[in-house]
A and B are shown apart, each in its own frame.
Chain A
């Protein structure tokens, strides 16, 4: 009665197309991102309904302009978090980059030398942290925390006060306006941010490196057993995050035509929060660059609404972001539990 050896598998193809644990929701992995999108739309249309001029296209376009740096940084952070790590150093790398850029430009370096130099430096710092994490098994939290101190230390060492940038190219970039439509203009920084998002999304979706990032976050041991270059990928991810942070620093310096060592403080947390709101799981293995972009948009939209409201305390931004974080984390728990 309990024996199963009487089941010769003669009846070929017993239609294994009925996987027992199939979840009957449309695509479980898209639920967090769909939730963020829904929320974003609700917020947007609430704004449109309540405030004059909120519906103008410039509101949306300005979201990209005002949050270009955060978008770029969040992209790098997304890669790191998908592998299951974290990068606390990004804000400090921004400050290091802006300070260094301004100083070098002031010293008369040609801008086309400065740009690759600072980007390389940010990437190298990221690579160093990745190497420490991989080879010495220092936890990402601690390694990038040390990186935070190091980068901000370098920034303060170079200069503690704000340095103006008078370079022609930087000025030109800062003042350059791109006309999207009648009355809708944007800056070079927003375009850069959008390009970064598109490239990063393509890399994650269509390259071996991108897929390895997901595999490591899903199960690093399995990834190793499947012969994937786990160490190399991990180091590359932190390098990439360092690069994105440095690029964010460059954008910052273009936006403000200055460099300041106290720039970008606490930005790492904004970036992490944006990723979480955008459905990137902090446990790794799941998330999309577009999700993080949506997360940043939610962030920016809250600020826009508070500006439009006028009489609301800026403190509400943080509280609302905190509540949203709470909501999304609980949602993720529910979703991942059900998927199990």
Chain B
């Protein structure tokens, strides 16, 4: 490291989407023979930066130089030709083809137009052997684990063009030994002079493998650091940040905590509930009027825990009690019948129905629980919808507009309205404030506080610690798909305390 000239240099990158500034003057540089981690929470702009670099997005400002030359990518193929290869978390290969084909497709060795399978297999095997991977290259890719598939993707990427390699969350579905394998390969490539951009949510991995890291937050560059010089706690702090005091109108926290009724009845209590590969068995009790915050980085098991409580995924261990009765949730309807509501973090794919109107989206869950034979009378629909459009200040206040035309924050409010009209007793909201503007964020936080004051229990999942601290009576800290600590939100608890747990594992 410390070579005089970076192979890749991005300066003042700006990218604007309708209503959102995704990247705001971000600088980024990458040296040959280094592994550089790109850090940041959801919505920080990591994905956008990578997509800019790979030519998926065109930039609205700034410049990129590669090997000293100004480049202007207009598509993924162009950037690939220039020497930037990307391996995504969900492997972008064709699993129905053989390993050798996946490495060479489009560039197969040919003789008189006929693919030379023997030669291709030999070359593929040799290439993989250089990465310490000895597998049958004539087997189809889907017979191998995701880890192997990922390594095949890396082999292809390196063989196509070996200057800059982007690894976007390559480790998120690998187990420890597979990660070790991957790291061996990364180190070898690094020694060969490849510049590697590495994205991961696992801090330990970042500290193990990376030489340098760049932190983004809310589309802005926070800084570039040598990994060895930046303690984990400080890194987490830089990623999560301290939010501006946009919520003065929220009640004082201590007051809210006092307001919590001491002897509220438990609504839900989980004992040893878990699902293999998703979340380790955990215990959790939620009382009436209580806001429980789930803190942890992305991939720590936050969402998985929430999904189990809603029956969106089936638990394979432990038991769940609702109102003191043992229940097995066979699906979302079962949870809804017991007064549980769940708003997913994937607003677009698991939340809104873009083709349907605001009104239809809002009444959907209530209607589903009534069954199709008992439609909600139109007048009642309009009443409910108007009420929540007003209460949540959904803009534009047009119930007959297609939801896909609304901004992210307003879509989120529509989703909240969908669940609020079912009058749940426990509302699970996963990342309701992600990717929406500050004003809408404050409104949603305020709403959560009000709901809890009204007696509703809320399980609040968020990557933003400030938000969790401000709202929650009780905070559950997750790390590596495990619930590691439960904290009463009292005077002594602050962001540093939680970051400590997130960064270093259980203190208990």
User: Which residue from chain B places its CB closest to the CB of A19 in the assembled complex?
Assistant: B144
Q: Are B108 and A208 in contact (CB under 8 A)?
A: yes
A220 CB → nearest B CB, Å: 9
**Which of A16, A285, A286 meets B181, CB within 8 Å?**
A16
Docked CA distance A15–B135 (Å) = 9
**Which of A9, A16, A207, A222 meets B148, CB within 8 Å?**
A16
**Which of B94, B117, B180, B187 meets A222, CB within 8 Å?**
B94
How many residues of A sit at the interface, in one of the four size bands? Answer: 35 or more
In the complex, identify which listed stretch (B202-210, B282-290, B443-451, B463-471) lies at the interface while the others stay far away: B202-210
Whether A339 contacts B142 in the complex (CB less than 8 A), given A208-B110, A219-B95, comes out as: yes
> Most chain-A Cβ atoms within 10 A of its Cβ — which of B93, B101, B108, B505?
B93
Contact with B along A219-242 (1 / 0, CB 8 A): 101111111100000000000000
Docked CA distance A23–B141 (Å) = 12
Q: Are A226 and B106 in contact (CB under 8 A)?
A: yes
Q: Are B135 and A17 in contact (CB under 8 A)?
A: yes
Q: Are B96 and A16 in contact (CB under 8 A)?
A: no
Q: List 11 contacting pairs A-B, 8 Å CB cutoff, sorted by A.
A: A2-B479, A3-B505, A7-B179, A14-B180, A29-B96, A206-B117, A207-B114, A218-B97, A225-B76, A225-B92, A227-B106
Indicate if B246 sits at the interface (CB-CB under 8 A). Answer: no
- Chain B residues positioned under 8 Å from A28 (CB to CB): 140, 143
Docked CA distance A13–B177 (Å) = 11
Whether A222 contacts B184 in the complex (CB less than 8 A), given A5-B207, A13-B132, A227-B80, comes out as: no
Shortest 8 CB-CB distances between A and B: which pairs? A218-B94, A218-B96, A4-B176, A285-B96, A9-B184, A5-B204, A222-B92, A19-B144
In the complex, identify which listed stretch (A58-66, A129-137, A209-217, A316-324) lies at the interface while the others stay far away: A209-217
Indicate if A20 sits at the interface (CB-CB under 8 A). Answer: yes
Indicate if B77 sits at the interface (CB-CB under 8 A). Answer: yes
- Chain B residues positioned under 8 Å from A14 (CB to CB): 177, 180-181
Q: Are B145 and A21 in contact (CB under 8 A)?
A: yes
Indicate if A12 sits at the interface (CB-CB under 8 A). Answer: yes
**Which of A9, A13, A15, A214 meets B96, CB within 8 Å?**
A214
Beta-carbon contacts under 8 Å, A245-295 to B: 285-286
Docked CA distance A223–B97 (Å) = 11
Q: Are A16 and B482 in contact (CB under 8 A)?
A: no
Q: Are B93 and A286 in contact (CB under 8 A)?
A: no
Main secondary structure of the interface of A (DSSP, over half): loop
Indicate if B18 sits at the interface (CB-CB under 8 A). Answer: no
Contact with A along B134-153 (1 / 0, CB 8 A): 11000110111100100100
Indicate if A22 sits at the interface (CB-CB under 8 A). Answer: yes
> Most chain-A Cβ atoms within 10 A of its Cβ — which of B96, B117, B139, B208?
B96
Q: Are B94 and A207 in contact (CB under 8 A)?
A: no
Docked CA distance A78–B135 (Å) = 31
Indicate if B228 sits at the interface (CB-CB under 8 A). Answer: no
- Chain B residues positioned under 8 Å from A16 (CB to CB): 132-135, 148, 151, 181
Docked CA distance A118–B80 (Å) = 43
Given contacts A207-B113, A211-B101, A224-B76, 9 further A-B pairs with CB under 8 A are A2-B479, A13-B134, A14-B180, A211-B97, A214-B97, A226-B94, A227-B77, A228-B105, A285-B96
Chain A contacts to B: CB under 8 angstroms: 2-5, 7-9, 12-17, 19-23, 28-29, 205-208, 211-212, 214-215, 217-219, 221-228, 285-286, 339-340
Docked CA distance A214–B101 (Å) = 11
Indicate if B115 sits at the interface (CB-CB under 8 A). Answer: yes
Docked CA distance A15–B208 (Å) = 22
User: Which residue from chain A places its CB closest to the CB of B176 in the assembled complex?
Assistant: A4
Q: Are A19 and B143 in contact (CB under 8 A)?
A: yes
- Chain A residues positioned under 8 Å from B360 (CB to CB): none
Docked CA distance A226–B205 (Å) = 28
A101 CB → nearest B CB, Å: 31
Docked CA distance A24–B181 (Å) = 24
User: Which residue from chain B places its CB closest to the CB of A3 in the assembled complex?
Assistant: B204
User: Which residue from chain A places its CB closest to the CB of B114 in the assembled complex?
Assistant: A206
**Which of B96, B180, B184 meets A217, CB within 8 Å?**
B96
Q: Are A219 and B94 in contact (CB under 8 A)?
A: yes
Indicate if B430 sits at the interface (CB-CB under 8 A). Answer: no
- Chain B residues positioned under 8 Å from A217 (CB to CB): 96
Indicate if B225 sits at the interface (CB-CB under 8 A). Answer: no
A172 CB → nearest B CB, Å: 34
Q: Are B180 and A9 in contact (CB under 8 A)?
A: yes
B206 CB → nearest A CB, Å: 10
B172 CB → nearest A CB, Å: 13
B176 CB → nearest A CB, Å: 4
Whether A9 contacts B187 in the complex (CB less than 8 A), given A19-B148, A21-B145, A226-B106, comes out as: yes
